[in-house]
Amino acid sequence: MMFAVLIAFCSLLLGIFLLKQRKHGLNIPSPPSHWLLGHIPLMRKSGSIAHEAFSKISNSYGDLIRLNLGGKNMVLVSGFDELKYIHSSEFAEDRDALEIANLIFSGSLKETKGVLVNSGSAWKELRRFMLKTLRDLGFGKTASEETVLTETRFLMEEIGRMAKTDQEVDLDKVFNKAALNIIWNLVAGERFDYDHAKMAKLLACLDAFMLMGKKVIGQPLGAIPFLRYFPPFRATFLKCCKGMEELRNFISETIQDHEDTLDPDNPRDFIDLFLLDLGSTEHMDKSNLLISALDLFSAGSETTSKSLMYAVALLVRNPDVQKKVQEELDAAIGGKPLLTMSDKIKLPFTEATILEIWRVGNIVPISPPRRTSKPLEIGGSTIPANTMILSNTHTMHMDPKYWENPQSFNPSRFINSKGMFVADEKVLAFGTGKRRCLGESLARMENFLFLTNLVQRFSFSPGDQGPPSLQAQGGFTNGPEPFKVKVTPRF
């Protein structure tokens, strides 16, 4: 009896809250909604993967629509022109972090730390420091290229050992390990052998981060935070919290080790440089150091590994493209042991293939949410201040008004009549505006060096289950469903 009364009381409070939210004036088109649940039923009906559900809704109702999820008004952007305009506006630079995701990630429901989900002066200070520090560490330059090439050698050795078993293999974990080592070298100045206990611990923590993405983003738990107190959401919430707490503890211990061994005249990595700058501004404190390091770890590892998994899946499904890329790579490498960034200019079709992989295998199909700081006028409509903005780049990457036969994997769409590679700004792999990915230069380098050297050294073909599926898994970063392939050394 008491439980029924409690449920009724909670429903009443939720209804009052939602009705109050509806009064938030937006003169932007909105699909029909449930009086209590808003557009949550429409989302569930449209699909279990958030970006796919959003695409179906926008295809029916337009490129700029209003949604209400869990009592929160938001604007869904699905057109490139609208996205470019909004993301370039100073009134849409703030981040709108999901409360439940923030609680799991940083341990705080309301307080935001780090650079990814912060806003205002805190974000500007941390972003400025981050950009300067990454430059000082040789980000995207010769120093970081040597780091990536070193990891490329380890990666190829590991995959070579896997290939010798003559069994089909799942490359997801080994790609994760390579990407983790690159970012951990930047953050903490060290790398781990692939079978090291600390590597296993980092991978387990990364799994918790990915679980949070799948079970929170676009799901009821993300829209209605108090569901974390009730089954079945409670178990998922606690599992995510435990994994992220272990990762925060791991990074905290690493920061303490750096404090104990800090040499001001010889900073080794991101943590050292942050420690040397503590107290220089209002937001340069240890809590922001911890979450900023966590930001780099989470954003810089899974994105690269998922991109590589999509690359392998698409090349296996398109052996003609794989062969053409290999022929171009063979001509470029000469007698060198590895392809380097200096070879890029000789590889137009390979560059086009990578860009097409990013278009079709979109690893961040929903840009991290933004929030308007002031009213924003667009196309005769007004987005009020303090409104969440979600941008669905998946729709843009697959829109026939931008791309001919968008479902087709065709790198030649980025090759002009002279055989030269031509980039297209509508491939939004790294975002736009001042919130554009801080690690873009390193991510581009990793993708290029890992992929070109692997494809030059090995051929990838379907496993016993056939070609990999491209069906998305959803989450913070999107990857294909798990698959195995056969790996054959070419030499």
Q: How far is CA 116 from CA 231, 293, 394, in A?
A: 30, 11, 21
- Amino acid present at 157: E
DSSP string across 365-423: SEEEEEE-SS-EEETTEEE-TT-EEEEEHHHHHT-TTTSSSTTS--GGGGB-TTS-B--
Please state the φ and ψ torsions of residue 239, each to the nearest 5 degrees.
-65, -45
| Cα separation, 58 vs 69, whole angstroms | 15
Q: Which residues contact 257 (CB under 8 A, 6 or more apart)?
A: none
Q: Give the β-pairing of 366-371 and 94-95.
A: antiparallel
> Are the CB atoms for 45 and 102 separated by under 8 Å?
no
Encoding tokens for residue 305?
């590994």
Encoding tokens for residue 66?
């209003």
Encoding tokens for residue 107?
């341990």
> Are the CB atoms for 294 and 176 separated by under 8 Å?
no
> Are the CB atoms for 69 and 40 separated by under 8 Å?
yes
- Amino acid present at 6: L
Residue 219 DSSP symbol: S
Residue 437 marked ligand-binding? yes
> Are the CB atoms for 57 and 65 separated by under 8 Å?
yes
> Are the CB atoms for 88 and 433 separated by under 8 Å?
yes
Give the residue numbers of the binding site for heme: 437
Give the residue numbers of the binding site: 437
